[in-house]
Amino acid sequence: MHRHVELRLLDVARPYRGLFGLGLLATFFASLLDSATIVILIPLLEALFGTAGTLSVSNTTLEAVTNAILAPLIGGIGPREAGARLVVLLAVLLVIKNALTYASNQVSVAVQESLVRDLRTRLFRHLLRLDLGFFQRTKQGELISGLLADVDQSKQVVSAALAAFFQNLVLIAGSLTVLGLTSWRLTLITLAAAPVMVWGIRELLQRLRHHASAWADERGLLTSTVTERLGAIKLIRAYGAEDTESDRFAAQTARYRKRVIRTQRYSSLTSPVSEVFGGLVIILIIVAASNPSISGVTLGPAVTIGFLAVALKMMAPIKSLSQFPTNLAVALASAERVFRWLDLPAADQDESGLAVARFQRQIEFRGVGFSYGQEPVLAEVSFTIPRGSIVAVVGPSGAGKTTLLELVPRFHDPARGSILIDGVATTALARSSLRALIGLVGQDTVVLNDTVHANIAYGRPEATREQVIAAARAANALEFIERLPDGFDTSLGERGTRLSGGQRQRIAIARALLRDPPILILDEATSALDTESERLVQEAIDRLMADRTVLVVAHRLATVQHADDILVLDQGRIVERGDHTALLAANGLYRRLYEMQFRTVPEDA
């Protein structure tokens, strides 16, 4: 599973393979120069403390190779001048090596952040097309954590591959080459000890992956709690629940702390394990340097010091390389979570479907049924809405009214039966084309953290300021908008917190007016407003409904008395149908609902 996720992450990074290769090349040469700077230490020490005027007599293959390479530079000169030249060479190599390392790191950052941007954009785009039921099942905080923390953590796969794994692999290979040219026996002993560390790290990884995944899940729950509770701050204070919520949050942070500690417990063990391994290698080197029967050669003082320097230098990349699986495990645990969401089938796509440019005749529900899982919501719903008419849907709470409305713009598709627009089933139409015909104003008005102009023009971003002003005037919104600090350029804050409920509703109506759709869907648009706000909103709705085909759900029955047709829904079925007067005379569910609201029996009943 992890390998599969890693390949998918690298596939996301595929567009940057040229940049990736450039980074690997810079890393490769930087790593080679890193080994070269250490090798120069041996002739430098010999030049400073050895025999004047000549290169040292070769006792090891390393010395022979080094002498052959440096002979044109320091052959036949005194030790002081040779040392000076080697110091200059060493300084130049160090500058070039660090310049390449810097370039490699910058390339690594560019690739990582490009991957994060692309993966985050892909996930956000995919989330926008998932079935609405997904958002009802998944906490908002988990989605935020996935989009931000998990996607960001996933980049460590590329980071480890580019800046850590490959670089350290080259460094270790270079160091082992130096060790091998000095004493191949000692090199074999060192390599033989490596599987011990690999086995120990592997055992740690199995537990680390499990705890890293649990850590990511707990982080998502924590984010969800913070988002939800801070958004309900008025409710918490109104019910005096500050202490209860604080205790609940403290318990959750305690669980999160436990997850982090358990993950770090195994993550931190990789460093001591590699440290012990490195110490054992150094002990082996010291023993071999003093015992030619083990190393196979007699090591002079300069070679011994250089050998130890190479071995000590190799410990850092070995330690880093041993931590590579740890970092990879944590990154893959986050990436798995991201790809788990990306693998969910998108329910809102337009790959196929007819384009519809206009609405001319009628909307027809034909034997429509719908269920959430095993729970039936609608059953055998059939009715027709002629063009230009107003059809109201009423009924008790839970009757399926809102679900019925959501089927028209294809937020859901019918499980049984069909909905037809001018004789064509909505499931055969492209969603974007269908929704271009529909304006929606709901009870829970959505106002974005943007300007008034941008909120009204959301469905028609090319609209001019004059058109936006005209829509606001028709929605009874112009007066309060002009009182805002910057008028139409005022930012409304998160969820439109600067506006009252009635003002937000009038912004939504202006948005629908500007779009000018032939079909209008109203979902209890005035149910949560005070009397004055309801009057202003209802006036705006009356203008909005003019010359349109309207399907409206209303909790207040007084608002639907003038509808051309009223459907009474109960337990997912149409139980009554007719105009206001006929339904009152029928003395059925509609009359009971009406009397419950007004507490009186009308005189004409």
DSSP 563-594: -SEEEEEETTEEEEEE-HHHHHHTTSHHHHHH
In this structure, what token pair is assigned to residue 295?
């190393």
Angstrom distance (rounded) from CA 534 to CA 551: 19
The verdict on domain 2-342 having CATH code 1.20.1560.10 is yes
Helix (H), strand (E) at residue 392: strand 390-394
The verdict on domain 362-598 having CATH code 3.40.190.10 is no
C-alpha closest to that of 45 among 293, 273, 310: 310
Angstrom distance (rounded) from CA 108 to CA 145: 24
Blockwise average pLDDT, block size 10, the chain, 605 residues: 69 82 84 77 69 48 71 73 82 89 84 86 84 76 80 74 70 76 69 63 64 72 74 66 81 83 73 69 68 66 68 70 70 82 75 71 91 83 90 87 87 88 87 84 77 86 89 86 88 75 83 85 67 70 79 78 87 89 88 76 45
Contact 427, 587 (CB under 8 A): no
In the block, tokens 């740690």 appear at 204
In this structure, what token pair is assigned to residue 460?
């028609």
pLDDT at residue 72 in the model: 75
pLDDT at residue 51 in the model: 46
C-alpha closest to that of 36 among 443, 252, 313: 313
C-alpha closest to that of 30 among 105, 88, 85: 105
Angstrom distance (rounded) from CA 299 to CA 285: 11
Contact 439, 508 (CB under 8 A): no
pLDDT at residue 99 in the model: 92
Angstrom distance (rounded) from CA 396 to CA 482: 40
| Close Cβ partners of 186 (under 8 Å, ≥ 6 residues apart) | 179, 284, 285, 288, 294, 295
* Numbered ranges of CATH 3.40.50.300 in the chain: 362-598
pLDDT at residue 369 in the model: 92
pLDDT at residue 602 in the model: 46
Dihedral sign of CA atoms 212, 218, 222, 225 in order: positive
pLDDT at residue 368 in the model: 92
* Numbered ranges of CATH 1.20.1560.10 in the chain: 2-342
Question: What DSSP line would sit under 86-122, residue for residue?
Answer: HHHHHHHHHHHHHHHHHHHHHHHHHHHHHHHHHHHHH
pLDDT at residue 561 in the model: 80
